[in-house]
């Protein structure tokens, strides 16, 4: 459960940070948007380091699946772009892939 919460926090920090920088550079928002976005991106990098998994590569690979799901959901909730059947299928595949990457090993 702790790992899932950390993945969601990392995802929201990365997507939120990237989104704020997007708003600053593409939509002409204040530099403060970009600065806060940079802070969130730094926080994202730090959150992943507190995961209990020992392999950097596995943590980031599994996080990639979570990131994809959160990105589609962000687009739905924030940009009002509804996921289609391919998005839902892709999210399911990514979640399964993330779970496989984090499966206990002997």
Residues 31-77 have pLDDT tens digits of: 999 999 999 999 998 987 887 777 788 888 888 888 999 999 999 99
Model pLDDT, residue 76: 96
Q: How many CB atoms lie within 10 A of CB 63?
A: 25
Q: How many CB atoms lie within 10 A of CB 23?
A: 15
Q: Please state the rounded mean pLDDT for residues 84-96.
A: 96
Residue 78 class from Cβ within 10 Å (0-12 exposed, 13-18 middle, 19+ buried)? exposed
Judge whether 17 and 38 are in contact, CB under 8 Å.
Answer: yes
Residues 2-13 have pLDDT tens digits of: 878 888 899 999
Q: Please state the rounded mean pLDDT for residues 66-93.
A: 95
**Residue indicated by tokens 């990131």:** 67
pLDDT at 1 over 80: no
């Amino acid at each position: 459960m702790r790992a899932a919460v950390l993945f969601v926090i990392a995802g929201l920090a990365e997507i939120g940070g990237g989104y704020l920088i997007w708003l600053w550079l593409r939509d002409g928002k204040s530099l403060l948007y970009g600065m806060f976005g940079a802070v969130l991106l730094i926080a994202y990098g730090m959150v992943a380091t507190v995961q209990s998994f020992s392999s950097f590569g596995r943590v980031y690979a599994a996080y990639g699946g979570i990131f994809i799901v959160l990105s589609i959901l962000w687009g739905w909730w924030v940009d009002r772009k509804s996921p289609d059947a391919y998005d839902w299928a892709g999210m399911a595949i990514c979640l399964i892939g993330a779970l496989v990457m984090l499966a206990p090993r002997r």
